Structure 1
Amino acid sequence: MANQMITKVEGSVLVLERVFNAPRELVFKAFSEAEHLKHWWGPRGWEIPVCNVDFRPGGVWHYCMKCVDKNQGDFYGMESWGKGVYEEIVAPEKIVYVDYFSDAEGNENESMPSTRVTLTFDEHEGKTKLINRALYASPEALKTVLDMGMEQGISETWDRLDEHLQSLQ
């Protein structure tokens, strides 16, 4: 892979960075519209059968990821629901939201850590440098999601984002 994701842990904060060969406005749009998110959100072998986006401060993004890859063993057929509540949107520079594990009705799963995510989209030599700063309640909460394989999941998700962006240009 020519463009690897850079990962840094700073206490309770996970920082992920990657440069995408696409204009900033397009990368921002890929994070803000359901029609884009459905094509790339989630790790390989997972689809998004439900993706509702109310893209405004106070709005909610509610989605379901479903494993459709039989090679993923026990994960095959599994559904994972998530919910994001948007706090701040500055197009095309920044999106801030709180990310929760949820159920199909959008009720937050309080046994799982929530995350305050700040996405910044920086112009970078005609490309877009995406920086994801994920703030957890504690270093232990961050370790919980890292132990679940979240870093690999995001890396695969961003690979899929890169493929989606290339298909649009």
Structure 2
Amino acid sequence: MSGQMVSRVEGQELVLEREFDAPRELVFRAFAEADHLRNWWGPRGWELTVCNIDFRPGGVWHYCMKCEDESQGDFYGYESWGKAVYVEIAEPDQFVYTDYFSDAEGKESEEMPSSRITMLFEEHNGSTKLISRASYDSAEALRTVLDMGMEQGIAETWDRLDEYVQTLR
């Protein structure tokens, strides 16, 4: 594995960082194309069963993760829908989007917090340092997603990303 994810909270922002032993353009593309996302997005035991992406400013990514791992107990068979609305894209340096929990029709959840996420891709001698900065409207909103296990879920997702990009090198 290229590196472990490091996380910290800065006010109402969750900052996640990890180094990947892969070129920046490849790591960036893994986030921008459905054919890549289907291979790694989601924590272990979850598969991306729906992945519709329009990767451009104003475009939307609507997806569904489904738990396919019977050992995850009550989560087995559960579907989790999400929606991203892209605000800014500066390939291969960064992109910014608003992240929502949603339903199958793409209606944004009013019960769950949304966040504005900036994804930064920094090149370091052929490797890529990925920095995610997720800003929430309140400390309570941030606490809600932390209590749900967001850090562990993203760590497992980025482990899968690392394994996937190694197959493409």
Scaled to the shorter chain, the TM-score interval is over 0.9
Structure 1 partner of 2:159: 159
Structure 1 partner of 2:29: 29
Rounded to whole Å, the distance in 1 between the matches of 2:124 and 2:6 is 15
Give TM-score, length-normalised by structure 1.
Answer: 0.99
Structure 2 partner of 1:83: 83
Give TM-score, length-normalised by structure 2.
Answer: 0.99
Rounded to whole Å, the distance in 2 between the matches of 1:15 and 1:125 is 23
**Residues 91-146 of structure 1: per-residue CA shift (max 9 Å, x gap):** 00001000000000000001100010000000012100000000001111001000
Rounded to whole Å, the distance in 1 between the matches of 2:55 and 2:125 is 28
Structure 2 partner of 1:122: 122
What residue ranges of structure 1 are gaps of 5+ in the alignment? none
Rounded to whole Å, the distance in 1 between the matches of 2:98 and 2:145 is 15
Structure 2 partner of 1:52: 52
Q: Per-residue deviation at 1:3?
A: 1.2
Two-structure CA RMSD over aligned residues (Å): 0.7
Task: Note if contact 2:2-2:162 (Cα within 8 Å) is conserved in structure 1.
Answer: no
Structure 2 letter corresponding to 1:12 = Q
Q: Give the share of equivalent positions with the same residue, in percent.
A: 71
Q: Per-residue deviation at 1:2?
A: 5.6
**Residues 7-58 of structure 1: per-residue CA shift (max 9 Å, x gap):** 0100100000000000000000000000000011000000001000000000
What residue ranges of structure 2 are gaps of 5+ in the alignment? none
Structure 1 letter corresponding to 2:151 = E
